[in-house]
Amino acid sequence: MTTIENGSETRELAGKRALVTGGSRGIGAAVVRQLLDAGAQVLTTARSGTATVPEGAAFVEADVRTRTGAEVLAAAVREVLGGVDILVHNAGGARPHASASAIPDEEWQDALDLNYLASVRLDSLLVGGMREQRSGMIVHVSSAAVLTPVGPFLHYVAAKAALETYSRGLALELAPFGIRVNTVTPGRVATPGGEATREQWARLDAAPGQTNADDTVPLGRDGRPDDIAHAVLFLVSERASWLTGSNLVVDGGEFPRG
Ligand SMILES: NC(=O)c1ccc[n+]([C@@H]2O[C@H](COP(=O)([O-])OP(=O)(O)OC[C@H]3O[C@@H](n4cnc5c(N)ncnc54)[C@H](OP(=O)(O)O)[C@@H]3O)[C@@H](O)[C@H]2O)c1
């Protein structure tokens, strides 16, 4: 959002330093683009050193599943940004299997590392600086699959459910320091990762068949990466200055919730 103050244009996040994990495609790339448009300085990461990221963003290759990857990112934050104001934990995903019992042990661990522990490790390395500056905005990206947990995806769903509980707890712990922590929960979004997962899902014998978004999403279409990025941008903006510990579900109305 751009505002006019004293006759000159001010971009809403001018002067803010942001780290976004998984910014080379899909939802992460949309978040990076919108942060840049809002005037923030952005550093992003992916595992592939040849990844292309939105123009204007800095890039560091790191695997967020490991403690080493988190340390590489924390060092890059210090060197490239000189600190961080906005932290968006977006990298995530998993491969579905025929049933919960068919999920190999190493994929349970991988799902936990990518979808839950990556955030825990990176937060633990970066919130110290936010506490010192007594400000910061953290967003964790979950999944609406948590609302209807099914066996083939249980490693992913259980990890995201843990992430949501963790995010809420961290919000309460950090609120006295002026740090806001929120979750964005996307429904079905058209991204390379989302489409690959749905294709794998459709090939599983035991999995329920795929349906068209027109049939299942009350708003009649799949989400776009920008739909999720808009929610993230709102949560890190001053417009959300009284929001912490919240979970914004962005799913076109698809998933039931109490
Ligand atoms: N799309 C959906 O329908 C949907 C629905 C609900 C929730 N979500 C959640 O939204 C988030 C983004 O999903 P998406 O669909 O945009 O995913 P995507 O298209 O697969 O993009 C994932 C991004 O994360 C990076 N990444 C993956 N593993 C990584 C790792 N270990 N370390 C560092 N970077 C890594 C990828 O780059 P590299 O592969 O090069 O590492 C890529 O930049 C995820 O947390 C996902 O669970 C998505």
User: Above 80 in pLDDT, residue 17?
Assistant: yes
In ligand 1, which atom is closest to the CA atom of 89?
Answer: 45
Q: Please report the pLDDT score of residue 211 as a whole number.
A: 64
- The predicted pLDDT at position 49 comes to 77
Mean pLDDT score, 19-26: 97
CA nearest ligand 1 atom 31, residue: 63
SS3 sequence, the chain? CEEEECCEEEECCCCCEEEEECCCCHHHHHHHHHHHHCCCEEEEEECCCCCCCCCCCEEEECCCCCHHHHHHHHHHHHHHHCCCCEEEECCCCCCCCCCHHHCCHHHHHHHHHHHHHHHHHHHHHHHHHHHHHCCEEEEEECCHHHHCCCHHHHHHHHHHHHHHHHHHHHHHHHHHHCEEEEEEEECCECCHHHHHHHHHHHHCCCCCCCCCHHHHCCCCCCECHHHHHHHHHHHHCHHHCCCCCCEEEECCCCCCCC
pTM of the model: 0.96
Per-domain residue ranges for the chain? 12-250
Mean pLDDT across the stretch 229-239?
Answer: 98
> 90: CA distance to ligand 1 center in Å?
6
Mean pLDDT over 76-88 rounds to 98
CATH number of 12-250: 3.40.50.720
pLDDT in tens, 133-179: 999 999 999 999 999 999 999 999 999 999 999 999 999 999 999 99
pLDDT in tens, 176-231: 999 999 999 999 999 999 999 999 999 986 555 556 676 789 999 999 999 999 99
Measured in angstroms, how far is the CA atom of residue 75 from the centroid of ligand 1? 22
The reported pLDDT for the residue numbered 50 is: 80
In the reported structure, the alpha carbon of residue 61 is separated from the centroid of ligand 1 by a whole-number distance in angstroms of 15
pLDDT tens column, 27-79: 999 999 999 999 999 999 999 978 789 999 999 999 999 999 999 999 999 99
Q: Which residues line ligand 1 (CB under 6 A)?
A: 21-28, 45-48, 51, 63-65, 90-93, 114, 141, 143-144, 186, 188-189, 191-194
Ligand 1 centroid–CA 72 distance in Å is 19
Catalytic residue among 59, 156, 166, 255: 156
